[in-house]
Amino acid sequence: MFLIFLANLFKQYKEHWKKATLTLGLFLGIFFLLFNVVNFDFSSVANSDSNDKTEKKSAEEENKWQFKKKPLSVANAAPLSANEWTREYGLDDSNNKPGDDPDGDGLPNKLEYAHMTDPLKADTDGDGYSDKQEIINGYDPDAPGDARPNAEIIITKIGVSAPVIWSKNDDETSLQEDLKKGVVHFPKSASPGQDGNMVISGHSSNYVWVKGSYNYIFKNLNNLEKNDEIKIKVTQQNKRIINYTYKIIDKRTTTADDPFIFEQTANPSLTLSTCWPIGTALKRLVVRAELVK
């Protein structure tokens, strides 16, 4: 019976093979086109409910500068308290207060300590730019030349952890290349923890033929709400790690050329942007956060 069915099917195809082939080809063409234009991410998202671990208070909280985390010594990578740090650099009672600025570079001792820079030398790495200038402009104050510190964005609520790429150019080709390696920090926008608006962009989706580990890094950005936290982790070459925490104050869907995305702010702020709805570049989903001091 089955053989008879196959024979009849073959006979029908033979008689109408042109129409059948054309229909099949049209169907496959439409399917391929829609698949690559819409480019939804069909990968599953693992939801991990990890319990927050409460860190023990470090001894650093007990000293007069009240730092929450111990830094690493430039010399030997051993933990130093603020008091040990002042002794290491030879500060005395005349210039060791948190607000003092012995080298006159605009960074008080408490910030020199935070970045593990030399409080008695305005230009720690000797590259012609003061420590404060380098930090404000997003360069590593302890590495000569145009070295950048390594930066990472962490959004625990939506499982985001990605490198922040310091884009040198804002043309589309350069940005798309950088987006393959992480999320991009737009040129001329503020640096982590500094006054002004730091603008970071990432993919919510991408074409299936584009290779990259971060094609869908911001696909769950819409799940963020007011007061959720975004962390920027900065690691300098001297191994000093500085964590900046931002709290969300606004979320909106807008046009790609909306001035709100790049507008300057008086206080340190962070703006995240991604194409929206997923699978299109029609609009932008924008999240604005402010630094928690």
152: which 2 tokens?
Answer: 């990472």
3-state secondary structure string across the chain: CHHHHHHHHHHHHHHCHHHHHHHHHHHHHHHHHHHHHHCCCCCCCCCCCCCCCCCCCCHHHHCCCCCCCCCECCCCCCECCHHHHHHHCCCCCCCCCCCCCCCCCCCCHHHHHHHCCCCCCCCCCCCCCCHHHHHHCCCCCCCCCCCCCEEEEEEHHHCEEEEEEECCCCCHHHHHHHHCCCEEECCCCCCCCCCEEEEEECCCCCCCCCCCCCCCCCCCHHHCCCCCEEEEEEECCCCCEEEEEEEEEEEEEECCCCHHHCCCCCCEEEEEEEEECCCCCCEEEEEEEEECC
pLDDT tens for 52-107 read 433 433 434 334 454 433 443 343 344 578 888 899 999 999 999 999 999 999 99
Question: Residue ranges per domain, the chain?
Answer: 60-146, 150-291
Mean pLDDT, the chain, whole residue set: 82
Tokens 């884009």 locate to: 167
* Whether the predicted model's global pTM rises above the 0.95 cut: no
For residue range 100-109, list pLDDT tens digits in order: 999 999 999 9
pLDDT at 200: 98
Q: Return the higher-pLDDT residue of 136 and 68.
A: 136
Q: Determine whether 134 is exposed, middle or buried from the number of CB atoms within 10 Å of its CB (0-12, 13-18, 19+).
A: buried
Q: Is the dihedral of CA 203, 205, 206, 211 positive or negative?
A: positive
* Rounded Cα gap, residues 293 and 271, in angstroms: 17
Whether 231 has a pLDDT exceeding 60, the answer reads yes
Reported CATH class of domain 150-291: mainly beta
In this structure, are residues 185 and 199 in contact, taking their beta carbons and an 8 Å threshold?
A: yes
Q: Is 97 exposed, middle or buried (0-12, 13-18, 19+ CB in 10 A)?
A: middle
Residue 82: what pLDDT?
A: 87
Q: Residue 43 — pLDDT band, cuts 50, 70, 90?
A: very low
Phi-psi region of 73 (alpha: psi -120 to 50; beta: other; left: phi over 0): beta
The reported pLDDT for the residue numbered 91 is: 93
pLDDT at 62: 36
Residue 212 has pLDDT above 70, yes or no: yes
For residues 283 and 260, is the Cβ–Cβ distance under 8 A?
A: no
